[in-house]
Structure 1
Amino acid sequence: MNEEIDGMNKEEFRSIFKTELFKKMDKMIEEKKMSMENAILLLKHAGYLKVLKNIWILDFRNSSLNKRIEKMIFEEEKKKEGKNEWLLVELCECFTFLKDGVTLEEFPSVCVPCLLKAALRKEENEESQKEVEMALLALSDIGRWYIEQKLYLKEITEIIEHQQKHRNLTKLAYQSAWLFFIDRFYTTIFLKDMIVNELHFGREAARELEELTRCIDWKKKEEEMNKEEAKEKLTLTRWIETLNFYFLKCKLRNEELVELFSGISYVYRAAKGDNHRGIRSQCVCSLIHAAGDKVVRDEDLLRSGAISAVLEEIQRPTIVDKMAKESLLFFTNVSNRLKEKKKNEMEEVNRKATKKEILEKMEEEGYEDTITSFHEKQNFILGMCFHRSSFSFSDYFVDTGQNSFIYEKNNESRQISFSTLTWKDFHSPIKKT
């Protein structure tokens, strides 16, 4: 059964794990036609893949099987003697993996310490590390619920520090540990100093991004990848998603940002081609959030290669609407940054120098006018009026070598410069020739 689950796509997975299945399993357990042990093995494996592939299943939370597992968790936790610690871990994993939606108030106080204790196992054999990975993946799926620090801070810090010293966790386990910790920003933002300056999140994330990127054969389509490569790509995707939230929530300047932007740019360049457009889009989104963050310095984006990487995307002849729009959003944020004068005299000198260097680079690539023009019209292009126009980014984002595109209106074709584009042009029906 586990092998069959491994081969399912998202649609097949959702169609199988429905209310009917959970109801049938519960009935089989009640009639002793299925052992609880086998049910747990099946649910854990399904939950593991559900979280890894980012699939939502809403049918479980209201099922009788869920109620059975909830009851078993709290009954086992209340035992004074003869408590089965390993059964409790497995029940907590099942519940956490499949719970999508509302969580019981008592849930963190029981399941979080239980899962962290399982994740603290130091044995380096494959079986133990798989169980550690399972526990940390479950923790990473708890989301941004408020959890008291006393329930997790000491343990999650120990797990991360031990990994930095011994490097014995799997890639997915380490990413999951960080995701659980970063998600605590949602309710406990002052953790940022520990995460940034003591545990060196930027350095660690950049290293993981580059190592994972090198492990993947980017020439293959996703369906052509073997099981390990597919897992590594999913882990890499989870890192980028974590960074999106990190840049939105962590407003703390540190020297490791250049490393982090370099790591994102490395992934962005490696994942070329239409087969991996999703992960490239996530990379740009991370850079958009970073470029909009005031604690990020202009030179960080320049020195890291982030600006060059996105310029390369603009130059692709096969660029699509979504990527063009995201690239322009990134440069809109960069442009906004370069306009803001600094109060500190030295910072203002640095801003002018960086602005000059960035604009010269854009001019070299032939896109300074393009970015300036789109920046001036961003409220229309990216705003509420966008849906009223037939304008399509991929139709017109064509490098003619002259910062322009060709369009046709009233049976007349002509070449229009981005820098002379008017609002009237966008309101009129236009199409690419």
Structure 2
Amino acid sequence: MDRLKDERNFEEVIVNELHFVRETRRELEKLSKCVDGKRKEGNGGKEIIIRRWIDVFDRYLTRYTLWNEELAGVIGSLVQLSRASRDNYPDTSKQCFIIFRRVAECVIVKIDSLLKSGVVGAVLEKMEQSTLDDGIMWDCLYFFLNLSRRFDEKADGEMDETKRIELKRKIFEKMEEEGYEDIVASLYGVISFINLNYNELSKYLADYFVNI
């Protein structure tokens, strides 16, 4: 995929004929069953395969520009995987949140797909935990920073204003339902600390909100 990223004809083959996105979803759903529940001897190899699939999907997001309707399904599968691997395979779960941050800034992923996939709820759910790895917290905060920027910059060129307002309302209601404002406000004092190792977070709380 790296070698072919500059050849648009091959991009169409990968997206439309090889159905990379559909195959990724199928593999992730199958493999996620191996990490759901207790850690088992011999699952280390399965975890490595899962993380390789996540790495390749990350490359797809950052190098390809063709929209694919099945992307929401893959992101939904990653949401399931992040929950299934949370207790016994934390590195895999952490890798999922890195992807969530990136899909929020990736222009080929439609904003309504983020709602359909359940990723907004998964990130909010993660932020409610009393103790979090600094890297995961950075990814969660940056997820909403990216989402807010995309709405402000109107990066989703095909979205009309009515649909944009409706999506902002749905996301706002979800954030309000989960007490997101209080969560972010409680983190205000540690944002600078997190930025010592994970930079580029905004110091302005308003930048993390999708306002209507």
TM-score by length of 2: 0.81
Letter in 2 for 1:200: H
| 1:280 paired to 2:93 | yes
CA distance 1:343–1:367, shift in 2 (3 Å): closer
Corresponding residue number in structure 2 for 1:330: 143
Query: Which structure 2 residue ranges, 5 or more long, are not aligned?
Result: 198-203, 207-212
Corresponding residue number in structure 2 for 1:207: 26
Letter in 1 for 2:105: G
Report 1 or 2 for greater relative contact order, CA contacts < 8 Å, sequence distance ≥ 6. 2
| 1:347 paired to 2:166 | no
Q: Give 1:188 shift.
A: 3.6
Distance across 2 between alignment mates of 1:247 and 1:345: 19
Q: Which runs of 4+ in 1 moved over 6 A?
A: 342-345, 372-375
- Superposed, 1:27-426 pairs within 5 Å as 182-186=1-5, 188=7, 190-220=9-39, 225-227=40-42, 229-273=43-87, 275-341=88-154, 347-368=160-181, 370-371=183-184, 386=196
Distance across 2 between alignment mates of 1:302 and 1:193: 26
Query: Which structure 1 residue ranges, 5 or more long, are not aligned?
Result: 1-181, 388-417, 421-433
Q: Give 1:372 shift.
A: 8.3
Distance across 2 between alignment mates of 1:217 and 1:305: 18
Q: Give 1:381 shift.
A: 6.5
Distance across 1 between alignment mates of 2:150 and 2:91: 27
Deviation digits for residues 278-299 of structure 1, max 9, x if unmatched? Answer: 1112111112222111121111
Q: Give 1:277 shift.
A: 1.8
**Does the 8 Å contact 2:104/2:146 carry over to 1?**
yes
Distance across 2 between alignment mates of 1:241 and 1:184: 15
**Does the 8 Å contact 1:359/1:368 carry over to 2?**
no
**Does the 8 Å contact 1:265/1:309 carry over to 2?**
yes
Distance across 2 between alignment mates of 1:368 and 1:189: 43
**Does the 8 Å contact 2:79/2:118 carry over to 1?**
yes
Q: Give 1:304 shift.
A: 0.4
Q: Give 1:250 shift.
A: 1.0
SS of the counterpart of 2:112?
helix
Distance across 2 between alignment mates of 1:357 and 1:288: 19
**Does the 8 Å contact 2:110/2:156 carry over to 1?**
no
Distance across 2 between alignment mates of 1:308 and 1:196: 28
**Does the 8 Å contact 2:107/2:156 carry over to 1?**
no
TM-score by length of 1: 0.42
Percent identical pairs in the alignment equals 35
Distance across 2 between alignment mates of 1:247 and 1:259: 14
Letter in 2 for 1:210: E
CA distance 1:244–1:261, shift in 2 (3 Å): same
Letter in 1 for 2:54: I
**Does the 8 Å contact 1:252/1:295 carry over to 2?**
yes
